[in-house]
Each structure stands twice: as C-alpha cells, then as structure tokens.
Structure 1
C-alpha cells in the first residue's frame, strides 16, 4: 500500500491514534448529555424504567449549559430462590438483525437463573428480523404469525422504528416510548489507510464534507491514490435498516443546516430535497444490512486487494466496526463467520456536527395476544437488562451501557471513542415518517436489467403447484413496485436451442419503467422454458451491454436469476472469460451483477463468484417458494 501524501501522514501507530482521538472528544462523559432522561423508580428493589443516557444535544453543548447527571448505579440482579411453577411463562423477544447477539445474550443470562413471576417460572426466547420488516409486521399486529408465536417484547435497534410502526397503524400494539437497554453510535467507517489519507482520522468532517467529498470523482487521484478509484459511499436502505435511516436523516440535516433540529417541513422542502438528491448520487448502492457491505469489503481485502476496492466509507453502527475489526463478518446478517482480524482495519469517524444513536428501545407489546402473565414476565426481563449483570452483558456484546460506557476490549479493538458528546437521538416520529415517504423520490435512480434463466428445468413444478418459471415471473412483477419514474428497467432471458445462443435475449429494452411497464410485463408473461443454460455467455454478453450504457449518476446493475449450471449445446464463453470480463468492467464502467440462486440445483458457487467479482450481493432462493420474498429484499439495493 503506497504511503499517503506527506500533508496528511499515514498513522501507523494505532494506539497513539486512538489516544489522540479520545483526547479530542473527552470533555467529560456527561458534558454533552442535555437531552437524556433517566427515570429510575425502585419498587420492591425492581427498576421499572431506564432511558439511555448517551444521547447528547450536539457538539454545541458547553459544560456550563447543563449539569452533569450522576452515573446510574446499576442494581444487582435478584433472581428467585427457586423457579416458579411449571409450565413456564414464555416471553418471545423480537430484535433487529443488528442487535440480535446482545438480545440473545441477555436472554441467556436471564434464563440462567431461577425466575418466579407471579408464581410461574419464565423462559425468554429470542428471535430476529430486519428492522423495517419487523416494523411493517408490528404495524398490522403480526397477523402473518400464529398468535402463540407473536412477540411479547420488541427491541428494534433504534427508536425510529417504533414511530414507523405506530404511523403504519400499530398504535394499538406498540407503545410510543421504549426502555433503552444500551446504545451504539451510528458513524462513518473507513478503511484505515483511506481515513488517514484524507485526514478524517485526525479532524472529523461534517456531514456536508462527507457528501461533498463522496461526490468528487477525483478525490483519491488528487490525494495520489488513483488505485482506490472513485469515492464509494455505502449505505443501507432506510426502509430496512437503522443505519440507512441515519444516513438519510444526516443527508437531510446537512442540507437543512442542522441534524439536531431537522423538521418534517424541511424534508418536504424542494430546495433541500434537490440537495439530498445530489448527495444520493454518491451512493454506490443500497443494501439491506450493514453486514452486507462489511462482508464484501473483507472479501475484497482477502482477494489480494484492499477493502477500498469495494468501499471508501460506509455508514454503520459502532458494534459493526468492532465485529469487523475482530474478524467477524456475515454475508446475510444471520450466519456469522469468524476469521483472523483483517490486516486493514476500519476506523470509526464521528462527524463533528453530530451523528444519530441507535438506542435499542425495548417495548412490551400491548396486542391482544399478550396476556397479563406474559406482560409481567416481560417487565421482569427488562428489569434484568438494567441490572449490573444485564449491563455487563450489554457491554460485552459491543454496546455502550446506560452510562455510555464501553467494554475496554471492545473500545480497543473497535478503535471506538471512549466517550462521545455529539450523539443525537433519532428525530420525532413525524420527521422519520416524512423521510421514509420522501426516499423513493430522492434515492439514486437505477439502470437495471432483469436477466432470467429460461432453461428447460424452469418448467419443473414447485410445492405451490406452479412451475419455477411462473413463480419467478410473479416475483419479478411484484418487485417492479419498488421502482418509480426515472428508473430505467429492462428484461432479458437466456437459454439455447438449435445452437441459437441466448434465446430469446432482450425482450424489453432498459428504459424508464414509468413508460415501459406494460411492455415489460407483457414480455415477462410471454417467457417460456426452452432448453440449455448458457449462463456464462449470458452474463458476459449482457454485462458488456449494460456497461456500454454506464451512467455514473445511476446504480448500474443486472439482477440474474438462475436455477442451474452452465450447459450449452455448442462451444461458448468459458467461466474464466466471463470473470475476466466482469473484472475488467469493474475497474472502468462497473456493473453490479446481483445473483439469485433459484432452486436446489442452482450453481451456488458460480453465482457467488459472479456477484463477488462485481461488488454486488448473492441471494439464496434455493427454496423456490421464497423467491418473491428474496427478490423483494434484493431490489432494496436500488
């Protein structure tokens, strides 16, 4: 790795870097905490409410403006001498993907001791889902879930989702406020050499600096690092993940002049919206979870290059930075893989004009499926989360406790700030909802081709009684609802018959979906299973075609759905030729090829290699009955 320019020297001494970063921010653990509320009510030795104390009023707060609150003294847990009578009351707790590990550990800690709530023993069971999906389900009372399996407690990783669920109709089921169990700042994370080269490890930027830099195609060349390409800013989708919400709200706040005072009216302001649209052009693409981005960054580094091949910066929570730096990544947000720590670590950047805090609010749901016994047991579980033992679990899981303190090892490995004074609570419900509603209009537009395998095996039936092709066509048609005017969307299909390669080929040209949806759907409906599977030829051909129409201001992509392995009647493009094409395009006119393995016979390894070569993501629909759900998640990348 070449050294950075001498004007911003590359800092190789990580401990010295961390100490200088801490000194800049350490104004006292409580100096910036003006907006926090701590309500502690002791009844029979039980804490019934605690609200996070790590949400500050912004960088402008001065020591003289607010008295330092006293740190919380966490009470000891008081388990029962003997467990209550069986059958135990079961408390189902639903978390986000991001905070699932913490919630699972809290459940284990609680279950490890005897519990007696109103004469009954208690068992806490943890489940997880994406934040946006959970909010949608909470809004309708989890009606798609059998009543005896619905959650009693919901712990999204940020309070914003409570408002989204209530706005969607869940007011009868979701309390307006939650009890924070711990927090994680949502920061800008960068590979260490890039952070040093641009100087943000020394002097944190404002969000305006971040978005303006990301929009500068020549920034790394100007800093004598052309090998890093353009500035690639990664964001999750704000309709799915809290980090995506924080990124969009920061964009609006930067455009409006203040993150802390952002209003719903400013989100609908035309001038502010135009600036946010410009910010979004710097986004490489959107993903469903922070883990998706970090997994790809690690893959890029391990392939002999640098994480810079995939991203320059990504907006994630501190806990994700800690996970990455200790060698833990996840392709899908569910399965975690632990390897050696990366040689190229991530540096968390805390923008100087503030950053939002994921406060992990717990609510006991009030739906008709929650009985009195479950509600009482749930309150006891939340009491445990606020005890000395519970808060130790929170810290060990990579989060700040209710005093804003980190575990020493987490702080060291993650290179996290010891204390932060610019953390901001998420805005009020109406502001978050306004952002969600505005996102389809301001997001970066897509230039995407759906590429469907129509080999003979696509005519095979699945459990629903449909053929694989019919189910796939329905899923594609449903996914079109994600796109809006200004998105260029097209359709091609591939098979081979009588040595005719790539039959039928392009059936609906890539064009504005607002004008061509009828044509697209008609062409989609006419697709039929044919014969062979020229997978390599199809990817090679259509990637080149998409690259010819490359537009830096769009997400240029292919969505590839295939159920089999490359099989051709006549000699055709080889696997290596296809991968060489993708690699060449990746460094000039990058086309993201998102791959979806469809059915049990799909060539998973090849599809992963294709997506990995382009910096896109692989999706698993090897259970073909799930294709509509999987494809629905995939298109949130646009």
Structure 2
C-alpha cells in the first residue's frame, strides 16, 4: 500500500540529499586522486572531461583516462624589454569574463617571451559574428587591433569559420581552456511541478512538452500559460547551435549519432520545423533571455511569465542565480539573487559542452612575436593558477571539476553523466545552412521614425534617415520567402495627423521585397514625433493579425522623444494597449542617436517581453539592427 504523495518540501529535501551525496562522491573521488598523486599511485580511474569539439576536432576535449596534473605557472624573473608585444585575444560574449581574468592574471606577473614583455588585451564578440569576421580577415579592425588568438565558446565555430573561407587563418583544432555544459535551465517552481528536477527528461520529452500548450494548466498552473522554450540563434550562439543539434537528433532518433543525411532528410526536417513552432522568438545570447526572466520577477511576477525553460550554458545559470544579468551580453548588472532560482537539468540522452578552444590564428597580421606570446598565454591558462581562474569564474576545469560554491549556487550537478561530442563539421555546416528553412517564420512590421530630426547629418555624411534606410536594407537579407514583412513610418505636421503610416503591407517578403525597398527609399523626414500614437495604433493593428505559428513583432526605430503639435495618445494609454496585446505581439525597440528617449523605448519593449537595442551611437545602427533581427 503506497503512502501519501510527497509534498514539494519532501521533494526539495530529497533533491538536497541527492545533491549532497553527489558532492560528497565528487569530493571523495577528487580526494582519492589527489592522494594517489601524492604517493605516486598507479592507475587512475577514468575522469570525465568536456565533450569533443566538432567531431573530435579538439584533441584536448576528449575523455581522459587519468586526471590532468596542472603545472605551476613559471613567470619570468623580470619583464622582457619594451616595447611589449601586444597580444589581442578575442573571446565570445559567454566566456569573456573568464578570458579577461585570465588576461589579467597573465599580465600581473612578469613575462619575457623572446626577449620582450607581453601585454594581453582581451576583446569580445558573438561567436557567429567572429566566425564571419575571421573568414573576411576582420576587415572592420585596423591591423594592430586584429586578434592573434580566438577563443569561441565552442569548437564548432572553428569549423564554421573555416567553411566560410577562413581555412588559411583558423586552425582545425585548438586547446580547450575549460568547459561549461549546455543544459536546460528552468525556474525552480516549474522544474518542481513537472518533476524534471528529480527525474531528468530526454530531449524528445523536452521538445514534446514545448509543443503542449495545456501542459502547465494540466499540472495545475494555468497562470504560467503555454510552455515557453527559449533558444538563442544557432547562427550566433553555441547554445542555439546545441538546441538545433538536439532538435535534429530527436527527430532522427538519436541525439548522439546525428549525421548530415539526417539533416537532409525531409521527414526529419519537417519534424524540426514543428519543434521550432514552440519558440516564442530567438535571441542573440543567453543573457538576453535571462535578463527578461529577471525583469518579469522584478515587476512583481514570475520568471514563468517570460520562459518555462531555456537552453543555456552552466555559467549563465550560475550568473543568474547569484543575481548577475545583462541586457546586452556585455554590460553586467549585479543585484540580489532572484527569488526563483534556475535549476540546471541534464537530459538523459546527453548534452553538449562549450569547450572554449583557444586557437592561434595563422594570419599575416600575426607576427612571430605574437605567435610566441600566444603560445605562452595558452600555456598559462593550463597551469594551476590559470585553472583556478577557470573554476572561480564558473567553468569546469580541464578535469571537469566545478568549484563547489559554483555548483551550489548555480544548482549545477558537480559530476553529470552524458557528455556528447559535437557533430562532425559537415553536420554543423548542414545545420547552419538548414536553419533559415526550418526556423519559425516571422510576421514583422518595421516602424520607422520619420520626424524632422532624421534629416540631421551624421559624421559619415549621411542623414540619420539615410543611415536607417541602409541598415534596414541590410537587415532585410535576414528574411526569406515565407516571412511576412511590412514597413510603416510615423511623423506629423501641425494638424497632428500621423503620416505617412503604412507604406508597404505586411506580406511575404519573397514576393514583395522590391515593393518594400521602393517604399523605404521613398521615406522623407517630416516634422513631429508622435511616438506614443504610432506605437499604440500599429500595435493594435498587428495584434489583430496574430498568427501562433509565426513570431509576431514590430521593430521600432526612433531617434527622439514623443513630440506632437496637438495632444494625442499619452504614454499611459500606449502602455495600457501594449499590456493588452503583450500575449500576441512583441515590440522590439532600437534607440537611434543620442537624442532617443531610451527610457520610453525600454518601457515599450519591456511591456511586451521584447528586447531594447542601443544604437545611441548612430554609426552602429547597421550592427545593432543586424543583431536585433536574429530574434526572428
């Protein structure tokens, strides 16, 4: 005869007991290894390291038969002669903090490489963007600023860059500096309600749940709405790549054995398309999703209002649970830990690992002195001092070991089982090429400020309006046949009438691209800025054509504050409208120029759970808008 069902408190107690047992087991294993090392013991038990890079491309990222013994750093007795060799190291957004601290640790000690001192300079960019730039030779950077070392957060990007034309610059493999498992993260109450905190699902079960609009209601929580699965863009971020790999693997029958033939299979492709319908929208980095989850809680609600689960790296889960978020992936905001922490879930059929491979670029702008300095910096990252930084900053070291404090705060498993090698390079490239076909289609209206200030001239010699037109023209390349895209603009004269209004209807861009571009080219700056009225009017219009199988959105670009000749819609009225349509429409906002009303634009995007983008330096509008459209 069975007893009463366990309460939430019972289940939490059971989870804590399991976590303590896992931690004790890990400590015993590590302690035993340390003892063996001290006495020069014989054979070692196998220790799981991070997963392999693209088909085993990184030799350092495989299962090790014995633990790595980290050597001590051996700095020089004194700095070499000046001028110092400048070593530019390019990281991803995800691992930037760790890489910056490794650079600081290296620079803090005297270095003499080839008779010269060394100055490591850390920079960052999104992995997908860096792969594209590497293929083009980093054309937007002066030669002295181009990287000599690239550390994407996963080895897959090496193959992506090489396939794009960087084979002469990017080596096939690199040296892993540390690892972060790519997991399914859920707010604790949701993980508890579905039981995945105690009994991890398969990826197929995750994807099936994401398609069940009544799942939370059936579990007694209708207030959580439908199951909202967050994914980053696979052409930008490693977590997005991993999400696509498991989607294809689940559809083909094996996450562990994904092949290029599976990606080409039409039945598999259709199943992946169906999986993608559950995505609310894509974002460029994990931080974008977690920022909105925290904002939902800070408004007095729950993270469940924005997401049910999101595929991210462990480091991001640790950051979130200790109160660190970022709106843009670069600027960090530290606050109190959230009331609803995230739980890291490791699906039972395996998970990928961001292995952070460092490669020394074989480019003509990398001197012999820089190559030698790069080798020495990478050597330092593998020392006890370097690996301590890796652990302190939320990563698993080269023995797969997490800091105990990181594991505890992050709700991370100290020793999870199920590491998957990344697919072979041909599979990775095939998935990238297939994404435009399988992604959730968009229904988007570009809403452009056409006030008089858009005639102001930029440093480039263009007017603001001309710069915006160029940026939108480039951004349009992100969309393909099947995406519905339209264009509207707003200004007004002394009569207060909003014009020109809709200039290209929201329709299949595959058929209407020429019409859209002609309408865009014909826009002219007028006078006033009826920002609130325009958002109110077009949000109502767009919400009426809501399609659950599309990402329904407005992309708002504005360079000023609300300004009208006669009273029109107030900010309060507009925000009330946005609250009404927030379950059917996303309004992404882009502040264009230093005079943009940042506070109002953030309020507009936040009211619908969309993201705010900063192009207050108007010369950056092309890059920022390019980042924004990865949400579709």
Could you say which TM-score interval applies, normalised by the shorter chain?
A: over 0.9
- 1:418-457 equivalences under 5 Å are 418-457=414-453
Deviation at 1:459, TM superposition (A): 1.4
Equivalent position to 2:403, from 394, 402, 407: 407
Q: In structure 2, do the counterparts of structure 1 residues 30 and 262 end up closer, same or farther at CA, with 3 Å as the change threshold? A: farther
Alignment partner, residue 170 of structure 2: 174
Alignment partner, residue 68 of structure 2: 72
Deviation at 1:256, TM superposition (A): 1.1
User: 1:17 and 2:15 equivalent?
Assistant: yes
User: 1:267 and 2:263 equivalent?
Assistant: yes
Q: Distance in 2 between matches of 1:273 and 1:403?
A: 37
Q: In structure 2, do the counterparts of structure 1 residues 109 and 636 end up closer, same or farther at CA, with 3 Å as the change threshold? A: same
Q: Contact 1:458–1:529 (CA<8 Å) still a contact in 2?
A: yes
Structure 1 portions without partners, runs of 5+: 1-5, 32-50, 58-65
Deviation at 1:425, TM superposition (A): 2.4
Alignment partner, residue 388 of structure 1: 384
RMSD: 2.1
Q: Distance in 1 between matches of 2:107 and 2:159?
A: 30
- 1:37-56 equivalences under 5 Å are 53-55=49-51
Deviation at 1:311, TM superposition (A): 0.7
Point out the more displaced range, 342-351 or 17-26. 17-26
Q: Contact 1:533–1:567 (CA<8 Å) still a contact in 2?
A: yes
Q: In structure 2, do the counterparts of structure 1 residues 25 and 549 end up closer, same or farther at CA, with 3 Å as the change threshold? A: farther
Q: Distance in 2 between matches of 1:635 and 1:155?
A: 25
Deviation at 1:125, TM superposition (A): 1.1
Q: Distance in 1 between matches of 2:262 and 2:361?
A: 32
Q: How many residues align?
A: 604
Point out the more displaced range, 495-504 or 483-492. 495-504
TM-score, normalised relative to structure 2: 0.92
Q: Secondary structure at the match of 1:355?
A: coil
Deviations 1:553-592 (A, max 9, x none): 11000000111111112221111111111112124xx200
User: 1:84 and 2:91 equivalent?
Assistant: no
Deviations 1:474-518 (A, max 9, x none): 211111110001101011111122424321111111111111111
Structure 2 portions without partners, runs of 5+: 30-46, 54-61
Q: Secondary structure at the match of 2:504?
A: strand
Deviations 1:420-476 (A, max 9, x none): 221112212111111110000000000110001111111111111121111111211
TM-score, normalised relative to structure 1: 0.92
Alignment partner, residue 40 of structure 1: none
Deviation at 1:19, TM superposition (A): 4.0
Deviations 1:300-349 (A, max 9, x none): 10000001111111110000000000000000011101000011100111
Alignment partner, residue 612 of structure 1: 606
User: 1:257 and 2:230 equivalent?
Assistant: no
Alignment partner, residue 195 of structure 1: 191
Q: Distance in 1 between matches of 2:615 and 2:171?
A: 35
User: 1:555 and 2:557 equivalent?
Assistant: no
Equivalent position to 1:598, from 578, 592, 596: 592
Q: Contact 2:589–2:611 (CA<8 Å) still a contact in 1?
A: yes
Alignment partner, residue 119 of structure 2: 123
Q: Contact 1:30–1:69 (CA<8 Å) still a contact in 2?
A: no
